[in-house]
Structure 1
Amino acid sequence: MKGRAIAGIALILLGAYLFFMRDENISTGSVFAYFWPTLFVIPVGILLHWLYFGVFGRSAVGVLVPAGIVTTTGIVCQIATLTDGWSYLWPGFILAVAVGLFELYWFSGRNKALLIPINILAGASLIFFVAFSISNLLGKLALGQPFLAIVFILAGAFLLAARKSTP
């Protein structure tokens, strides 16, 4: 079963590489350039998870924080590398810390005090992700600032023209 899972993941990654890099020649250097997170970062996160779940158990609950951070960071880096989306995927690094702390919360005594930094970090990550994604999307659509200006003008005109409702 393990061999089939590893082969399946390898084929999926190879297919993604071939899909995204249709105009490039395949070489060892290009594979390392595009899959360094999968080859070097994500396995460390998986190893740390294995240490908790398979070797040490509840006595090493602190290993879950770096495990969650490293695994999430590797996934964010892999997606950003394949899609060249560094400009709008960087909030995933903030989310990585929230994921690591959430794993600590979930698998330890469920200390409610951990929910405060988890929610702050996840909320900040979500806000930055939405803000930069929308900005990037508007920039790619070649609408950008003129489109935003028209939206603000129309919204202001609507607010001025709308009748006040009487209670």
Structure 2
Amino acid sequence: MARNSYSIGILLIGLAVLLLLGKLGVIHFIFSFFWPLVLLAPGLLFHILYFNRTWPAGVLVPGGILTTYGLMFFFCNIFGWGSMSYLWPGFILGVAIGLYELHLFDRGSDRGVWIGALVLGIISVVLFGITLLVKLGIYVIALILVAAGLLMIFRRKNVW
């Protein structure tokens, strides 16, 4: 009986600590920062289960998608959700990564899987480039002008 009350006492103290942490906002802070683990953990689990030869290669598609999305959301949690205006082509890239992993690790996959991954990857990279050009266009132009100026200065030494 004493052993049973000891366990219940520890359980009650743990519950009280959990309630106090919740009231102080610690649990909300932890969940608000680490919620992308809800996507990242299953994505990584799919990869682990495939590489342990437990599940077939088809799980790499959702694994790649969930892992990519989880990393994107962690990035947004760290650097702010305004960065999603730059990262939105990553949603297309996640599907491309999942399909490419299926093509890479499943020798019986159709050529269409590779073509689909390639097309989606190219679309994603082009959209990333367009987004960066639209959002950071003046900086890109300034960088190109600086590079062109440096090239002109250091290419010919005795022009002056």
- Say whether the fold is shared (TM-score over 0.5): yes
Between the aligned partners of 1:135 and 1:35, the Cα distance in structure 2 is 31
Letter of the 1:79 counterpart? F
Residue 94 (structure 2) pairs with residue 99 (structure 1): no
CA drift at 1:138:
4.2
Aligned counterparts, 1:1-167, within 5 A? 27-37=26-36, 39-56=37-54, 60-84=56-80, 85-109=83-107, 111-138=110-137
CA deviation string 1:22-58 (max 9, x = no partner): xxxx933233223311x3211111111111111525x
> Taking every aligned residue pair, what percent have the same amino acid on both sides?
37
Between the aligned partners of 2:114 and 2:53, the Cα distance in structure 1 is 27
CA deviation string 1:53-100 (max 9, x = no partner): 11525xx11111111111111111111222221111011110000000
Between the aligned partners of 1:100 and 1:91, the Cα distance in structure 2 is 15
Aligned length: 116
* Greater mean deviation of Cα atoms: 128-137 or 89-98: 128-137
CA drift at 1:104:
0.5
Q: What TM-score, normalized to structure 1? A: 0.60
Q: What TM-score, normalized to structure 2? A: 0.63
Structure 2, unaligned runs of 5 or more: 1-24, 142-160
CA drift at 1:137:
2.3
Tell me the C-alpha RMSD between the 2 structures.
2.6
